[in-house]
Amino acid sequence: MSLTTEQRGNITLVTGVIGADTHIVGNRILSMALEKEGFKVVALGALTPAEDFVKAAIETAADAILVSSLYGQGELDCRGFRDMCIEAGLEDITLYVGGNLVVGKQAWEDVEQRYIAMGFDRAFPPGTRTPDVVKALDDDLKDKANGAAA
């Protein structure tokens, strides 16, 4: 079930490009599309250390963190990300990761499972369309959008 724009207005998302990655265009398009769909978006931009995602999530009482990586080193940059969130008191935050997450050609199912094992709730392959991300957010955050504790 899709959330209404009003319900999405109760949800804060932190977006950004992790690590030494400068590929900002796709992340900016995603952030703008999410804002257009009614979500509150805190866009950190490119070259963002993992710690800055966590700090921004704490400061804004975010419901989810959406991490992008296009330079293929996301697996290194995202190691320990869930643990960092737990240590900061964000054990229930929803974590998404997407982009070109590994170097070389690898089966997406294998890549996805590695990120899920790292504690991400969802991992999205290169070329994921914005409506797919919105649907996932609607599904995963419906309780928070209605003001209930997830």
E strands, the chain, are 12-17, 40-43, 64-69, 94-99, 122-124
Q: Which two tokens stand for residue 24?
A: 């900002």
23: annotated active-site residue:
yes
Cβ distance 94 to 39 under 8 Å?
no
Q: Which residue out of 23, 52, 121, 140 is catalytically annotated?
A: 23
Q: Tokens 């309780």 sit at which residue?
A: 143
State how far the alpha carbon of 95 is from the alpha carbons of 13, 29, 83, 91, 122, in Å: 10, 19, 12, 10, 7
In the residue annotation, 21 being an active-site residue is answered as yes
Q: Taking the CA of residue 128 as centre, how many other CA atoms within 13 Å lie in the half-sphere pointing to its CB? A: 24
Could you give the residue numbers annotated as active site?
Answer: 21, 23
